Structure 1
Amino acid sequence: MKNSLVKIGSWVLVLLAGGCVDPYRPPEISDPNTYLVVNGFFDSAPGATTTIQLSWSQNLTDSKPPTAETNARLTIESAHNATYSLTEKSAGVYSLSGVTAQPGETYRLHIQTASGLTYYSDYVPVTMSPAIDSISWQVENDGVQINVNTHDPQNTTHYYRWEYDETWEYTAAYYSLFVYNDTNRTIDRRNEDVFNCWGSSNSRNIRVHSTVRLSQDIVSQFPLIAIPGSSIKFQSKYSILVRQYALSQAGYEYYDQLAKITQNIGSIFDPQPSQITGNIHSTNDPTNLALGFFWAGSVTSQRIFIRKSQLPGWVTITGDGYCDTDTLTAEQIRDSPTGIVSEYIPSPPLPPPYAYLTAPLACIDCRLKGGITKKPDFWK
C-alpha cells in the first residue's frame, strides 16, 4: 500500500490507497502522485458566469504555483441531454456565460484533458441558497468575533457553506513628501500617495454547518472569523463580504470531511488521514483520482463595514517595527536610500542645503505591507 500527501492550494490532503495502517514514509512527501484538481460550480443565478478551474496537485515542499491544466475540453451536461461547452479564458480557467442552471434539473461536469484523460462528475441537483439574514459581530476576548445568521422558511436547505473576502483601510506611519530618484540620483517631490492603502485577504478555512438535527432550518450566530483587536485590519475601517452556498448532503459531507482532515491536524484526538476525493471520477482508470466536488446552485452574499470608532481604543500593530526618524542630508540619503518624510529646516534656520527627515521605507510606503493605493469601488 502506498500513501500520498498532496497540496491543493492552501489545503494539504492525505490520500490512502487502502484501508490498513501503513508506516509513515518521508519519501512520500517529496515524491507524491499527481492528481487533477477541479475547483468550481455551475452558477444558477440569472446572468452569472460559471467558472471552473483545473490544476494539478503538487509536492508538499513545492513553493511554485500549481500547474494549470490548459487546452482541456469541458462541458456541463444535463440529465435531459442538454450540453454546454466552457471556454478557456486564461491558463486552466474555463467559463460559461448566458446559461442558467434550472431548478429541478440535475447536471454533471465532463472533462477531457489535453493528454486524453476523461473525467465525469456525478449528476448533482441544483441547490438554491436562501438570503443571508445578517452578518453580526461583537467584541470578544480582546478582538472581534464575526458571525453569520440565516434561515430557510421552506425548511429544505439544511446544508450550508460560507466563504468571505476581507478588505481593510490603513495608513503608513508617516506621510512622505519626497522620494529618492534612483535614475537621476536626485530627491524629488513625491507625486503619488503612498500613505493610504487597502489590504485584502480571502477565507482559508472551510466553514460548513448543518441544521438537519434542528426542528427549524435556522442558523444563528455561526462563527466565521475571530480577529485580534491589535490587527492592522482595525487601524481605520474594515469590511467583510460573506458568500453563502446551499449544499446537497453529499456536498456537505465532502466539505465537512475535507475540513476535518486539513484543518484539525496536530493532536492524537484529531481525525486520522483518510481518502476523500469528491464526486469526479476518471473513466480511463478508476485509480486515477480527481480531487474536487462539482455542484450546481446559487450564491447569496452580504457585506458589512466596521469602523475604528465602533471599537475599543485598541492599539493596532501595523508591522512597521520601530519607526524611528533620522535627519540626513541628500548626500547621506544617496549613499543609503531610505524613506523621506519631509524637508527638515532647523530653528533657527540654516542656509541650504537642507537636511531631510527620514524613516524606514516600511514606515512611509503603505504598499510594503501588501496593500494597494487604489480605493475599492465598493468602499464607502
Structure 2
Amino acid sequence: MLRRLIYLFFFIPFACIDPYQVDVPEGEQLLTVEGIISTGPGPHAITLTRSATYGSVFEGLIRPVSLATVVVRDNDGNVTFLTEGDEAKGTYFTPASFRAEVGKSYTLQILTAEGKVYTSTPERVESVPPIASLELRTVTIPSPGSQAPRSGVQLIAEVNDPGDQNNFYYWRNGPAVYILETRPDLFTPRPSPQNPNRTPQPKPCCIQCFRTEVSDNQGLFVVNDDNFNGLKARIPASFIEDNGLRFVNKFRMDLKQYSISQGAFRFLRLVKQQAEINGSIFDPPPATIRGNMISLDNPDEVVLGYFMAGGETSRRIYIDRNDLTFKQNRAIIPDDCREVAGASLNPPADWNP
C-alpha cells in the first residue's frame, strides 16, 4: 500500500505559478479649480489641483498645480495677475488691494506650465445685504459606536432680503481666534539617552495663549430667496465643531456672507446634495458635477470646480464657554501653549470681547 502511494505521489503533476503583471494606467488627471473673488478685502485665493479619475491607482491623490499663469479679467478688459504662494503651492493670490466691483463680470484664465489654456464663463458680481444679527445654538450629533456625541455651535444669520432682486446666498467661516489653555505642568519629553524613562519635566510657562486658525467649513451653507424674497429671514449659516479646545474659554470668528450667481448656487447645491448622500439604496448614483471652467484646447475635457465672484459682507461674533448648553470634555495638551501652531501670548490688536 505504501509503495502504491509513493508511485502515485510521483505521478502528480507539479507546476510553477508565475505572477501576472498588470499594467494599470495612471488615469486622466482632472484639473480642479476652487476659489472666489469678492468685494471684500484681499488677497483672494484660487486653488488649482489635479485629481485622478475613479479606478485609477492614483485615485484620491490630490496634486497641486504649480507654476501656472493665473489672471482675472473684468468686462472692461482690466487684467489682474495672481501670484502663487511660497508655502501654499497650487494656491494663487490676488494683490491685497484687489476688490471685485458690484455690477462687473469677471473671468478666470489659466495657462498651465504644460501650455494648456483654461477659462471660466463670466461671473457677475451682485450686491449683498448685511448680516443683521447672529444667533448661536448648541448642536449635538449622534456618533455611532461612541457614547459621546459630536457637538458644536450652529450660527443663525438674520438677513433683511431685498425685494428688488433674486438673491443667492453662500456663507463661509472666516478666520477665528480663541483662548487656548494647555497644561505645561504635565510636560513629559520624548525618550532620550538622558531621559530613557520619560520622567515628567513640568514647564513654568505658559498656560494661556491666543490661537489663530482658519476654521474648516463643516458642510455647505447655501440658499436662495425664493421663499423669503423681500422679507426678514433667519438662516443656518455655519457650524463650528467643538474639538475640546475652541470653547474652553472665549472664541471669536468672522462669518462671511456672499451673494453669488445662480450658476454658482446650482453648482454648490449639487455638491451639497452629493456630500449628504447617506448610502441607502435610494440615493442617486454619484456623478461628475461640471462647473464653469472649460479647456480651450479640448472642449470635451472634464474640468472640476467652480470660479465664483460675488459681493461680500461679514459679521464678527464672540462665543463664551457659558453660551454652550453642551460641551465636549476638555482636550489636554501637555505642553507650553506657545508650542502650538498659530498660538501667541499676545491677543490680536482688535480683540474686544
- Normalising by structure 1, we get a TM-score of 0.67
State yes or no: 1:234 paired with 2:230. Answer: no
* Secondary structure at 1:293 match in 2: strand
Q: Is the 8 A contact 2:137 2:154 kept in 1?
A: yes
Call closer, same or farther: CA 1:371–1:69 in 2, change over 3 Å.
closer
Distance 1:219 1:30 in 2: 52
Q: Is the 8 A contact 1:30 1:59 kept in 2?
A: no
State yes or no: 1:37 paired with 2:32. Answer: yes
* Secondary structure at 1:260 match in 2: helix
- 2:102 match: 103
Q: Is the 8 A contact 2:180 2:211 kept in 1?
A: yes
Q: Give 2:67's aligned amino acid.
A: N
State yes or no: 1:88 paired with 2:97. Answer: no
Call closer, same or farther: CA 1:81–1:171 in 2, change over 3 Å.
closer
- 1:307 match: 320
State yes or no: 1:278 paired with 2:298. Answer: no
Distance 2:288 2:43 in 1: 32
Call closer, same or farther: CA 1:226–1:180 in 2, change over 3 Å.
closer
Q: Give 2:120's aligned amino acid.
A: S
Alignment deviations for residues 154-195 of structure 1 (CA, whole Å, 9 cap, x no partner): 5425210111145443423x4518776968769877364156
- 1:131 match: 130
Q: Is the 8 A contact 1:235 1:316 kept in 2?
A: no
Distance 1:318 1:189 in 2: 20
Q: Give 2:34's aligned amino acid.
A: N
* Secondary structure at 1:57 match in 2: strand
Q: Is the 8 A contact 1:260 1:271 kept in 2?
A: no
Distance 2:289 2:298 in 1: 17
Q: Compute the displacement of 1:114 (Å).
A: 0.6
Q: Give unpaired runs (5+ residues) of structure 1.
A: 1-26, 321-361
- 1:206 match: 220
Alignment deviations for residues 114-165 of structure 1 (CA, whole Å, 9 cap, x no partner): 1011111001111222211111013566864421222233542521011114
- 1:262 match: 275
Q: Is the 8 A contact 1:76 1:83 kept in 2?
A: yes
Q: Compute the displacement of 1:282 (Å).
A: 0.5
- 2:15 match: none
Q: Is the 8 A contact 1:281 1:290 kept in 2?
A: yes
Q: Give 2:322's aligned amino acid.
A: S
Q: Give unpaired runs (5+ residues) of structure 2.
A: 1-21, 141-150
- 1:323 match: none
Call closer, same or farther: CA 1:55–1:373 in 2, change over 3 Å.
same
Q: Give 1:85's aligned amino acid.
A: F
Call closer, same or farther: CA 1:316–1:197 in 2, change over 3 Å.
farther
- Tell me the number of residue pairs that the alignment of Structure 1 and Structure 2 aligns: 308
- 2:165 match: 156
- Normalising by structure 2, we get a TM-score of 0.72
- Which structure 1 residue ranges, 4+ long, deviate > 4 Å from structure 2? 29-32, 58-65, 139-144, 177-189, 194-197, 362-371, 373-376
Distance 1:296 1:315 in 2: 37
Q: Compute the displacement of 1:207 (Å).
A: 1.0
Q: Compute the displacement of 1:292 (Å).
A: 1.6
